[in-house]
Each structure stands twice: as C-alpha cells, then as structure tokens.
Amino acid sequence: MSDTATTNENLHPGMNLGYSGDAEHAEVTVFGFWTFLMSDLVTFGIVFAIFATMKDATAGGPGPAEVTNLTSIAMQTALLLGSSFAFSWASLSMKYHDIIWRTLGWLAIAATSALGFLMLELYDFYHMIKEGAVPQRSGFLSALWALVGLHGLHVAGGLLWMAAMTGQILKFGLTDQIKSRITRMGLYWHFLDLVWVGIFSMVYLAGVA
C-alpha cells in the first residue's frame, strides 16, 4: 500500500491508478495528448496573428465597439472559468474518492457552465448578425468570427466529449482507462480556458479600450 502511495507522487496529477504497471502507459498517452494541445495552440496562435493584422480592416462596417457586449463577455469569462474549476474538482473527486456520483456531479456542473457560455456566445453572434456584423462584411469581422468561432467549436466539442465520458463512467465505472481519459479531457478543458484569456483580453477588452 505505502509503495503505491510513493510511486503515485510521480504521476500526472488527477490520477490514482492504484498500481504502477499502467502508470508509464498513462504518462505516454498524456504526453501524446499534450503534443496535440500544442499543435492546437499553433492553430489558435496563427488565427490570433491573422486577427491582429485585420483588426483595423473594418471597411466602414461595424468595428470592435459595435460588436462587443462587455457584460456578456464578463459573464462568459466567469462561466468558463467556473467550468474549468468544476472540472478540476471532478478530477480531484476521481483521484481521492471512488464515488462515481461525486465525479459525475462536478462534471455536470462543468458541463452546465460551459453550456451557459455557449448560449451567451450564440446570443452575441445572433445580435451581430442582426446588426449586419456578418463574417463577409469586412476583414476584421472575418477574423473575429474565425477566432471566436474556432474557440466556440472547441468548447462544443468538449461538451460532446464530456457527455461521452459521462456515459463511459456510468457503463464502466472509474477504471484506470477512464481515469486516464478524464485526465486528458481536463488538460483540454483548462487549455480552452487559457485560450479564452487571450480572446477576452486581446480581442474584446483591447478592442473597446
């Protein structure tokens, strides 16, 4: 028992695999997932760079001040940070308590917050369309829709992933494989929150400043 406790200290956080046999494999898959995240970071970074070159290309159409609803952005920021935090609580429940419902409860909170985030984002998009701030209106708007939309699609994909993980937990319980998958999902989820920090600061706040 104490042996596993000491070896577990060297593992990726959020994991309690119970024996060291599978630990190395889990490390490798987490590293592989980290590779994917970094390639995703390159994608986001390039779209950010394009946005930076396009930020003044409004072509007489709606500019940053017209398309930004700061109250909505603040609420979205709070919801996504809350979701990220709830997910870390789900990971800790999974690591320290083998109670399925506790983990599932925090996952549900994380998913509900993220759903709220997406609803507000879609509401903002709806308003932009109504005001004629559509992607084809100007270079600025194309870049804005591409960047915010890309992030939104990632969040929507994360929600599907969460639903799939909920189903897997209900069917298989908190097995080592499921724990490893949830650890990777956690990395993805916190990474999306990190990208959002860039979006709300550099796109929305810097846009209206």
Partner 1 sequence: MRRVLDKLELTARNREEYEERRFYTIGLVLSVVLTVMSFMSVMTDYLPVTWVFPALVILALGQILVHIRIFLHIDLSRQKREDLLMLLFTILLLGIMAFGTIWVVGDMNMRMMQGH
Q: Got the DSSP string for 71-105?
A: HHHHHHHHHHHHHHHHHHHHHHHHHH---HHHHHH
Tokens coding 126: 């709806």
- Asked if 24 touches partner 1 (CB under 8 A), the answer is no
How far, in Å, CA of 173 to CA of 130, rounded? 46
Helix axis angle, 176-198 to 70-96, nearest 10°: 160
Single out the segment in contact with partner 1 by CB under 8 A; choices: 121-129, 152-160, 163-171, 197-205. 197-205
* Cβ-contact 168, 130 below 8 angstroms: no
Candidate list 22, 85, 135, 176; residue touching partner 1; CB under 8 A? 85
Residues in 164-193 at the binding interface with partner 1, rule: CB under 8 A: 187, 190-191, 193
Candidate list 18, 19, 74, 129; residue touching partner 1; CB under 8 A? 74
Candidate list 21, 24, 42, 60; residue touching partner 1; CB under 8 A? 42
Single out the segment in contact with partner 1 by CB under 8 A; choices: 58-66, 74-82, 127-135, 161-169. 74-82
Please work out the total of residues on this chain that contact partner 1, with binding judged by CB under 8 A: 46
- Asked if 99 touches partner 1 (CB under 8 A), the answer is no
- Asked if 18 touches partner 1 (CB under 8 A), the answer is no
The 3-class secondary structure across 143-209, one letter per residue, is HHHHHHHHHHHHHHHHHHHHHHHHHHHHHHCCCHHHHHHHHHHHHHHHHHHHHHHHHHHHHHHHHHC
| Residue 9 or 130 with smaller CB distance to partner 1 | 9
Question: Which of 15, 14, 20 lies closest to 1, judged by CA?
Answer: 20
Per CB under 8 A, residues contacting partner 1 are 1-2, 5, 10, 12-13, 31, 34-35, 38-39, 41-42, 45-46, 48-50, 52-53, 57, 70, 74, 77, 81, 84-85, 88-89, 92, 95-96, 187, 190-191, 193-194, 197-198, 200-202, 205-206, 208-209
